[in-house]
Amino acid sequence: MTYGISSAPYLATRCLQQLAEDESKDFSLAPETLTNNFYMDDALCGANAIEYALRLRQELIALLGRGRFHLRKFCASYPSILEVVPPSSREIEVPIGLDSNEGIKTLGLLWHPLSEQFLISKARCVQKLQEPKNSPVSKCIISFIVTATFDPLVLIIPVVVAYKIFLQQLWLHKRDWGDQLPSELLNQWMDMYFHLSQVNEITVDRSVLAKPTEIQLHGFCDSNEKAYGESLYLLFVNQQGKVTTKLLCSELTVAPVKKITLPRLELCGALLLAQLIQKTVPAVNLKIDRILLLTDSTNVLSWLATSASKWKIFVANRVSQIQELTAGCKWRHVGSANNPADLV
């Protein structure tokens, strides 16, 4: 491969896909993983049983070996899966203890294999900021910190939303990139930044599946004059009727500078939820028995219950998109006090 040319990432991925297609007749598990669970040169996949994981590992080694691709950097949440893997082919030779703050870097996040958690603290969610005495706190520095936030599933919205809103306010002051912040904004920023270190204490469960007899996907959306967003939860019911819920992902958009009425912002939040559902359902690759979407806005529910042609252009366009994207889903009302998207 000639790296550095614009086609290199496509060619690298396309080679793996072609290998999976050419050799699919000899393997039952590996071709699907090779097609759907490779991200550049990293394979990220899971299994519901150790026997399945062992077989998948064996098939992946054999399948990729036919293309002269040799897998290494193996890591797993169960040490028994790695027993036959030579130490030179492992990500680490000694397993990380449960009480350790160390982790395995995986696509920019840090994963603790034994506890099965993502560690937000060392996942580049927050970049180090130099002390103000060494460098002025400017729009450039703050933009760097906010945009460097790496949270692909948007699981720490309640932490980062304040920083995105602050950045929007900063742009409205029309200051140059390198200018020191005025004292009022500087004090506000330093107070926010002081509490940013609490992100280090956040951990997120990697696994969300719980051997269910029924799977439901519940989506919540909410809005105020500063931002709108939503969160998705998987709900599992097991054979004993016990219900378990897991936060799956979420989304956030800061409200535009141009003022929009709150009902319209709620509608924008509903559209964002519909778009997130459209992306998430194929990605989780689960048989979902029911999709329930909830909002605390009665205006939104009234708009969605009727034909889009009845409304003015702004509302009609968004209602039409939501109705198309969420066909087959049920929209319901939830009280504001019980809406988890209110945290946004």
Note the pLDDT tens digit of each residue in 153-163.
888 888 788 88
Name the E strands within 2-49.
Answer: 38-39, 42-43
pLDDT of 313 > 60? The answer is yes
Q: What is the mean pLDDT of residues 270-287?
A: 92
In one-letter notation, the amino acid at residue 262 is: L
What's the CA gap between 117 and 120, in Å, rounded?
Answer: 9
Radius of gyration for the alpha carbons in the chain, expressed in angstroms and rounded: 23
Note the pLDDT tens digit of each residue in 30-73.
999 999 888 877 888 888 888 999 999 999 999 999 999 988 88
| pLDDT value for 30 | 93
Using a cut of 0.75, tell me whether the model's pTM lies above it: yes
SS3 content of the chain, % helix, strand, coil (to 5): 45, 20, 40
| pLDDT value for 132 | 45
Q: What's the pLDDT band for 175 if we cut at 50, 70, 90?
A: confident
Q: What's the pLDDT band for 334 if we cut at 50, 70, 90?
A: very high
Tokens of 103: 């982790």
Tokens of 237: 């019911």
pLDDT of 129 > 60? The answer is no
Ordered by start, the domain boundaries in the chain are 8-95, 99-205, 208-343
The helix (run of H) or strand (run of E) holding residue 293 is strand 290-295
Residue scoring higher pLDDT (314 or 45): 314
Ordered alpha helix ranges (H), 153-261? 157-172, 183-195
| pLDDT value for 172 | 85
pLDDT of 5 > 80? The answer is yes
Note the pLDDT tens digit of each residue in 190-220.
888 877 777 777 888 888 776 788 999 999 9
Give the class (CATH, top level) of 208-343.
alpha beta
| pLDDT value for 183 | 85
What's the CA gap between 66 and 72, in Å, rounded?
Answer: 15
Residue scoring higher pLDDT (180 or 60): 60
Q: What is the mean pLDDT of residues 158-175?
A: 84
pLDDT of 29 > 60? The answer is yes
Q: Whole-angstrom distance between the N-terminal and C-terminal Cα of the chain? A: 44
* Angle in degrees, CA 336, 155, 139, rounded to 5: 100
Say how many CA atoms lie within 13 Å of 108 toward its Cβ. Answer: 11
* Average predicted confidence (pLDDT) for the chain: 86
